[in-house]
Amino acid sequence: MTDPAPVDVLIIGSGAAGAAFAWSMADTKMNILCLEQGDWVKADDYPGVGMDWEERQFGDFGLSPNQRGRREDYPVNDSESPIHASMFNAVGGSTILYAAHFPRLHPSDFRVRTLDGVADDWPLDYRRLEPYYDINARMMGVSGLAGDPAYPPKELPLPPLPLGVLGERLADGFNRLGWHWWPSDSAIASQDYEGRAGCVNAGTCLVGCPQGAKASTDVTYWPLALRAGVRLQTRCRVREITLRDDGMADGVIYYDADGVERHQRAEVVVLACNGIGTPRLLLNSKSKQFPDGLANRSGLVGKRLMFHPYALVRGIFPEPLEGYKGATGCCIISQEFYETDAARGFVRGYSFEMLRGMGTVFTALSGMGSGHIESGAHHHDSYERLWDRTAGMVAICEDLPEERNCITLDPELKDSDGIPAPKVNYRLSDNSQKMLAHCVERGKEVLAAAGATDFLVEAPLGVAGWHLMGTARMGTDPRTSVVNEWGRCHDVKNLFVIDGSIFVTSGGVNPTNTIQALALYIADTMKQNLANLFD
């Protein structure tokens, strides 16, 4: 079988970053191809259209690729991490499962060394990314409310999602304490938008949105990118990036949908496989020129993994809250504890993201786990005390980069194509542990102010390895960073990284809006520099 014809730009991964980048590059009319190991998810395939939607979170729509074990998933050895990897492999990537809570980083997040003397400043700032956040808001269809005092002014195209009984109750708790809160910026269309139907408050977001209201990139960027001529090939899993003799990337070797090995040549290779998949590919692309993995002369590929340690704090309330209604993770945010306050005993800070209540099955299972629900004669009484009476939040703690927290290649574990699987080594820092302890106490305090009488806590939240950052960091110095300030590898000048791997620090907010703003910014910078892209 012959190898496919060479392309100008080859993108690997069709998730949040790959889709935004592909759409932006489409207007160059170059020959652009994206290879994606997963497939399209059809609206009818989503669990939310069936009564078993909660149960399927333990099966084919589980958060962990290890649990799902589909052909398109690769296993991740996360046995040496208290936080386990969560992701999805499909057109749209992990945005298929994400909660679509869509805050931006703050201006201070780009200057942590200057402001707080920790980690490093980014080689770009908030103002540089701001126009790309704005484009992304329009392209993804972000709902929210202008005027949040925690941010510089920003315009969002859609009004906020409803707070509901539960949201108002929690808002009241924050108001009683005089703490900041605001309706969340949400990548969910609160009303019909650009051909997408508005949210119907069905609450199944974490197993996908059959309505198309949630901005997974298969329903936002991809239809436009494809119409503009970008090609997307599904069920194609890339094994390694190949090199020319002059040290420039030559293309990739991948396995197509039938498992046949192919060599796709390209002028430019762009990695968008997320903070685990990207270092995995680089580390698996060894050569004489790069014996420790491609673009790894700094030794930092795979290192400085940041997750955002999460605390889950739920309160039990005396009366029903209609918590099964509404987008799962998009209600209100609080950034009362976002900025550093030395008196707290840790640096940097966190956001609180309010969660809706649990469905009927999750109420039972989590109550079983916490001991609040018993089996037997008193089952229904104990269930009634919990059902529709829980509300709470996750705290998203800033994770500071440390080299010991890393992705390597597992010496034994492999995916279904025989490609080495990634291994996660991760430990919580003292700073993170202090921050987690703080947010658990503050979480309980605000829930109590809102009327909660009992609490359910998990910190760190084990399943919350869904923000994958830092494993191919950007910077201006090739000795201490993998890519430059616009995503180009210092060591291989036609190889770009555009996903969360390039984050310098993590901030204390969900990363996807920033991942996409960066992808759009990198695409724009490439377009402006086409004539001397590899200089």
Shortest distance, position 201 Cβ to ligand SF4, whole Å: 5
According to the binding rule CB under 8 A, does residue 72 interact with other proteins? no
The item of ligand SF4, ligand FAD, other proteins, none sharing an interface with residue 77, based on CB under 5 to 8 Å by kind, is none
Q: Which is nearer to ligand SF4, 309 or 329 (CB)?
A: 329
Q: Which is nearer to ligand SF4, 107 or 162 (CB)?
A: 162
What is the phi/psi pair of residue 264, to 5°? -100, 120
Task: Tell me the CA end-to-end span of the chain in Å, nearest whole number.
Answer: 36
Q: What is the largest CA-CA distance in the chain?
A: 76
HEC string of 110-146 equals HHHHHHHCCCCCCCCCHHHHHHHHHHHHHHHCCECCC
Q: Can you give the binding site for ligand FAD, defined by CB under 6 A?
A: 12-18, 35-38, 63, 86-90, 93-95, 97-102, 206, 237-238, 272-274, 277, 281, 329, 466-467, 499-500, 510-512, 515
Q: Among residues 118, 124, 135, 150, which is the contact residue for other proteins, using CB under 8 A?
A: 150
Please report, for residues 323, 359, 389, 494, the alpha-carbon distance to residue 368 in angstroms, rounded to integers and kept in the order given.
19, 14, 15, 53
Shortest distance, position 279 Cβ to ligand SF4, whole Å: 31
According to the binding rule CB under 8 A, does residue 54 interact with other proteins? yes
The item of ligand FAD, other proteins, ligand SF4, none sharing an interface with residue 51, based on CB under 5 to 8 Å by kind, is other proteins
Q: What is the C-alpha separation between 148 and 122, in angstroms, rounded?
A: 24
Phi-psi region of 46 (alpha: psi -120 to 50; beta: other; left: phi over 0): beta
| Residue-wise DSSP of 61-99 | T-SSHHHH--TT----EEEE-SS-B----STTGGGGT--
Q: What is the C-alpha separation between 292 and 491, in angstroms, rounded?
A: 13
Q: Which is nearer to ligand FAD, 145 or 175 (CB)?
A: 145
The item of ligand FAD, other proteins, ligand SF4, none sharing an interface with residue 12, based on CB under 5 to 8 Å by kind, is ligand FAD
According to the binding rule CB under 8 A, does residue 49 interact with other proteins? yes
The beta-strand segments (E) located in 317-427 are: 332-334, 350-355, 390-397, 406-414, 420-425
Q: Which is nearer to ligand FAD, 349 or 422 (CB)?
A: 422
Please report, for residues 307, 351, 488, 515, the alpha-carbon distance to residue 500 in angstroms, rounded to integers and kept in the order given.
10, 19, 14, 6
The item of ligand SF4, other proteins, ligand FAD, none sharing an interface with residue 35, based on CB under 5 to 8 Å by kind, is ligand FAD
- Per-residue x/- track, 186-205, other proteins (CB under 8 A): -------------xxxxxx-
According to the binding rule CB under 8 A, does residue 53 interact with other proteins? yes
Q: CA nearest 517: which of 26, 87, 125, 40?
A: 125
Q: What is the C-alpha separation between 315 and 443, in angstroms, rounded?
A: 9
Q: Name which of residues 352 to 381 contact other proteins (CB under 8 A).
A: 359-361, 363-365, 368, 375-377, 379-380
| Residue-wise DSSP of 255-289 | E-TTS-EEEEEEEEEEE-SHHHHHHHHHHT---SS
Spacing of C-alpha 292 from chain mean position: 27
Shortest distance, position 199 Cβ to ligand SF4, whole Å: 3
Q: Which is nearer to ligand SF4, 93 or 141 (CB)?
A: 141
Q: Name which of residues 80 to 109 contact other proteins (CB under 8 A).
A: 106-108
Please report, for residues 19, 37, 89, 210, the alpha-carbon distance to residue 70 in angstroms, rounded to integers and kept in the order given.
22, 11, 9, 20
Q: Name which of residues 160 to 179 contact other proteins (CB under 8 A).
A: 160, 162-164, 167-168, 171-172, 174-175, 178
The item of ligand FAD, ligand SF4, other proteins, none sharing an interface with residue 510, based on CB under 5 to 8 Å by kind, is ligand FAD
Q: Name which of residues 108 to 127 contact other proteins (CB under 8 A).
A: 108, 115
Beta-carbon contacts of 249 under 8 Å, excluding residues fewer than 6 positions away, are: 241, 242, 243, 266, 268, 269, 294, 492, 494, 495
According to the binding rule CB under 8 A, does residue 146 interact with other proteins? no
228 SS3 class? coil
CB 139 within 8 A of CB 221: yes
The item of ligand SF4, other proteins, ligand FAD, none sharing an interface with residue 180, based on CB under 5 to 8 Å by kind, is other proteins
The item of ligand FAD, ligand SF4, other proteins, none sharing an interface with residue 316, based on CB under 5 to 8 Å by kind, is none
Shortest distance, position 206 Cβ to ligand SF4, whole Å: 8
According to the binding rule CB under 8 A, does residue 183 interact with other proteins? yes
Q: What is the C-alpha separation between 472 and 282, in angstroms, rounded?
A: 9
The footprint of other proteins (CB under 8 A) covers: 46, 48-55, 58, 106-108, 115, 145, 147, 149-152, 160, 162-164, 167-168, 171-172, 174-175, 178, 180-183, 199-204, 210-211, 320, 322, 324-326, 335, 338-339, 359-361, 363-365, 368, 375-377, 379-380, 384, 387-388
